[in-house]
Amino acid sequence: MKGFKQFLLRGNVVDLAVGVVIGAAFGGVVTALVKDLLTPFIAAIVKQPDFAAFAFTIHGSKFLYGEFINALLSFVIIAAAVYYLVVLPINALISRAHREPPADPTTKKCPECLSEIPIDARRCAHCTQPVLGRAA
């Protein structure tokens, strides 16, 4: 029983459960948006009150392609909403959190010949000109 309890309380299982519940609720909201607002708006343009009524019959078999159009619209809107409202902001936060400060320079330019020399060099290896300090 102890192993089962540890399994259930691991972060991945809890995160997945929360994601599934939120995803189902979000899917319901988006499905309602498509069914109640977008589909009638698009249907008004094509002079049909609901895509679910789109169908054709071949040899007595009825093909309800309107339901497929509704499902396809729902999928596209859900995918776009998840991408723009979840994925992009999370990626921006992660990249902002993982930014590392710029590394200290390891070379500098010789003030005389402008060649790259090690930062601690006191004389240029190319023109043998003395170089002062770290800043050049």
* HEC letters along 23-59: HHHHHHHHHHHHHHHHHHHHHHHCCCCCHHHCCEEEC
Same domain, 72 and 122: no
Q: What is the pLDDT of residues 124-133, one digit of tens each?
A: 888 888 887 6
Same domain, 89 and 59: yes
pTM summary value = 0.47
**Residue 105 φ/ψ, nearest 5 degrees:** -65, 145
Same domain, 73 and 33: yes
**Residue 128 φ/ψ, nearest 5 degrees:** 60, 20
Q: Residue 23 sits in a domain of what CATH number?
A: 1.10.1200.120
Tell me what pLDDT residue 136 has: 41
Token pair, residue 75, equals 């999928």
Token pair, residue 56, equals 């054709």
Domain that holds residue 112: 103-136
Same domain, 116 and 59: no
Tell me what pLDDT residue 6 has: 75
Whether residue 26 contacts residue 20, with contact meaning beta carbons closer than 8 Å, is answered with no
Q: Which long-range contacts (CB under 8 A, 24 or more apart) does 110-116 make?
A: 110/136, 111/136
**Residue 51 φ/ψ, nearest 5 degrees:** -65, -25
Same domain, 116 and 70: no
What's the domain count of the chain? Answer: 2
Token pair, residue 70, equals 């509704």
Per-residue pLDDT of the chain (136 residues; tens, 9 = 90+): 888 777 767 767 777 888 888 888 888 887 787 778 777 777 778 776 667 778 899 999 989 888 888 788 778 877 887 788 778 988 898 888 887 777 888 889 898 888 899 988 888 888 888 887 654 4
Same domain, 80 and 122: no
Same domain, 117 and 93: no
- Rounded to 10°, the helix 2-9/11-33 angle is 50
